[in-house]
């Protein structure tokens, strides 16, 4: 098993020619908007009606 005897060479970013400076800039940080509260439905029929009429999913 010669692979165990082979030394591992450690290279730095400069030796590889890699630019370590970030390629992006943070312009602003904004807090996400508040979410509306959820609605609890009492039955499957009510859920299907809400999905069909209010959300327009079905």
Q: Could you tell me the pLDDT band of residue 47, with boundaries at 50, 70 and 90?
A: very high
Q: What is the pLDDT of residue 40?
A: 92
pTM, rounded to two decimals: 0.37
Q: Which domain holds residue 46?
A: 2-55
17-42 per-position pLDDT tens digit: 998 888 899 999 999 999 888 889 99
Q: What is the pLDDT of residue 48?
A: 92
Q: Domain count for the chain, please give it.
A: 1
Distances (CA, A) of 27 to 20, 30, 34, 35: 20, 10, 22, 24
- Give the other-Cβ count within 10 Å of 51's Cβ: 13
Q: Could you tell me the pLDDT band of residue 1, with boundaries at 50, 70 and 90?
A: low
């Amino acid at each position: 098993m010669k692979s165990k005897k082979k030394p591992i060479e450690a290279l730095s970013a400069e030796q590889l020619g890699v630019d370590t400076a970030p390629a992006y800039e943070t312009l602003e940080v904004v807090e996400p908007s508040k979410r509306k509260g959820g609605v609890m439905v009492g039955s499957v029929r009510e859920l299907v009606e809400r999905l069909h009429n209010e959300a327009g999913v079905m």
